[in-house]
Amino acid sequence: MLFVRLLSRLPLWLLYTFSDVMFVAGFYLVRYRRKMIQKNLSLAFPGLTRSERSRIERDFFRNLCDYAVEMLKLVTISEDQLRARMRFTNPELIAEYSKQNQSVLYLASHQFNWEWVLASGCVSLPLPVDFVYQPVNNKFFNHLSLATRSRFGGFGIKRSEVARVSLKRNNILRGIAIVADQYPGYKKDKKYITSFLNQETAFFYGINQLAVMTQYPAVFIHVKKRKRGYYEATLKLIAAPPYKKR
């Protein structure tokens, strides 16, 4: 972890140089998962030309490499740096709920850079943040992920314990952050099946149940990359209580 901290203290312009090297190595030499990505792009965007899909593929790889070094920078980045690089356009939405002593649900997607969104929410929004996470098998990356997500005050909740811990902490004013757009691969997970990007897709079913259980407003965080290393997030209210219990 000491070596990671030392690397993290390097300026972002130098870390982005490492990202450029990783992109060339991963995209052109190793060709990391390129066949799978090309297949998925063909299924999702059949109306695009091969050249247009290739541009999306390259942009994805560049963003993925930038994400890696930005995640590394999160180990030591300052609050002021984070506020400057991840800006919320309308924090007053959450400020109003805070005045009403109303907790909220934050819903986000795995869109670059979701780790900076979570960290910035802890320093830029008026509610403390609980984040839902799925532990990974690699102990080092599990520790690194929890350390970066909690260093500005975030409180981690294991995915398997969301209902129990959320009810236990229901009297605490907070925002619960959930990034649950990945495939629900566990057989016991209840799935919602719909058409998405020209193919039948399964989504996690539990977010609406959590909203009903807690009676919290649901706010989607829409992230846009302004330029390299700079993002802005817009908060969009998508549902508000009272919800009917089924």
**pLDDT over 70 at 187, yes or no:** no
Q: In the chain, what percentage of residues exceed pLDDT 70?
A: 98
| Residues 151-179: tens digit of each pLDDT | 999 999 998 899 999 999 999 999 999 99
What per-residue confidence (pLDDT) applies to 84?
Answer: 96
pTM over 0.85: yes
- Other beta carbons within 10 angstroms of residue 55's beta carbon come to 12
Contact indicator for 108, 131 with CB cutoff of 8 Å: no
| Residues 113-156: tens digit of each pLDDT | 999 999 999 999 999 999 999 898 899 889 999 999 999 999 99
Per domain, the residue ranges of the chain are 2-73, 85-239
Compute φ and ψ for 209, nearest 5 degrees: -65, -40
